Structure 1
């Protein structure tokens, strides 16, 4: 069954996420994605862009 939303898988290291453990989940994911994928992104990833999906998956 296809997912109802468009999704993009992110491979992030535990080290990157742990370095941002003081941030809310969506912000930590966004900051880690910017570090890991920064040069490949056409626009910066924001926590607000990830928040809905992250909260929906927890």
Structure 2
């Protein structure tokens, strides 16, 4: 999948000078991973996975 990109441009001053702007780009990546837990304690094995705080998991 291609990443979702959001480009933001915000004026620094209330008068709206063209050169005085904040520029920021937000990129969101999505990966799909097939995980096959062991036969006993399947949900507990998923709960023990170490992932960073910024990563959100969804189960289908």
TM-score above 0.5: no
TM-score by length of 2: 0.28
Greater strand proportion: 2
Greater helix proportion: 1
